[in-house]
Amino acid sequence: MTIELSINGKTRSVEAAPGTPLLWVIRDELNLTGTKFGCGVASCGACTVHMDGTPVRSCQTYIEDVEGAEITTIEAIEGKAAAAVQAAWRELDVVQCGYCQSGQIMQAVGLLTETPKPTDEDIDGYMAGNACRCATYQRIRAAIHVAAEKMEA
């Protein structure tokens, strides 16, 4: 089937079988490789993108369900929360291998958009589905607090 995708502010027409996860259309058809494949079963968060501003797992979002929605990937994320999160991530050198970090950042931006001043508990709850095999969690938590401060400033 042919789908009109609204992604990163552009409309793209893609050919894909029904049931194709958005993840693989983004990566293999549209060549937006910042969004990562980690598990394919919604249990790691590496594939997180925004759908109408809300973080979703693109590996479990099917292509036929996204028509009409606005998709944003790490390559085009912008706004106050995104700028604060990316700056905080760099300031604290959160990344190790970096493979999970696109997803972590997309999720963290979602958190700060909903809850601009999160507690540790808010962070642990909202970020629970984003796995980091390098275990950068402590810095993720700290960077979200730093980003929250940046947003206030």
Count of residues that bind ligand FES according to CB under 6 A: 23
- The answer to the question of residue 134 lying near other proteins (CB under 8 A) is yes
Which residues from 35-74 bind other proteins, rule CB under 8 A?
35-41, 43-44, 46, 73-74
Select from other proteins, ligand FES, none the partner in contact with residue 140, using the beta carbon and a kind-dependent cut-off of 5 to 8 Å. other proteins
Q: What dihedral angle (degrees, nearest 10) is formed by the CA atoms of 128, 93, 148, 138?
A: 40
3-state secondary structure (DSSP) of residue 139: helix
- The answer to the question of residue 116 lying near ligand FES (CB under 6 A) is no
Select from other proteins, ligand FES, none the partner in contact with residue 17, using the beta carbon and a kind-dependent cut-off of 5 to 8 Å. other proteins
Nearer to ligand FES, 43 or 119 (CB): 43
Distance, in Å, from the CA atom of 64 to the CA atom of 147, rounded to the nearest integer, reads 35
Task: Name the CA radius of gyration of the chain, rounded.
Answer: 15
3-state secondary structure (DSSP) of residue 38: coil
Q: Which residue shows structure tokens 């790490």? A: 74
Nearer to other proteins, 79 or 98 (CB): 98
